[in-house]
Amino acid sequence: MSGFDHDGRFGHPYNHQAGDHTLFIGEVTDLLLKEGNPLWFCQGPYRRLAAQTDSETG
């Protein structure tokens, strides 16, 4: 799984079609994290999350 803000390898991988996306289930055997904001999936497209500004936190 590459092209994201992470890259990793799974042992004993299994994938399952779930509607319009695929669930990947497996044991994580190696993981590399990269700098970046997390992705959020909600009602269709992926979105990027950003840190709140001081005016948003009150």
What residues form DSSP beta bridges with 48? 39
DSSP line for 1-58: --SSSEEEEEEEEEEEEETTEEEEEEEEEEEEE-SSPPEEE-SSSEEE--PPPHHHH-
CA distance 31 to 14: 17
Residue 1 lies in a domain: no
> Model confidence over 5-26: pLDDT tens digits?
555 676 767 888 988 888 888 8
- Chain mean position to CA 54: 26
Residue 15 lies in a domain: yes
Of all residues in the chain, the percent with pLDDT exceeding 70 is: 47
Q: How would residue 53 be classed by pLDDT, with cut points 50, 70 and 90?
A: low
Owning domain of residue 33: 6-57
Residue 49 lies in a domain: yes
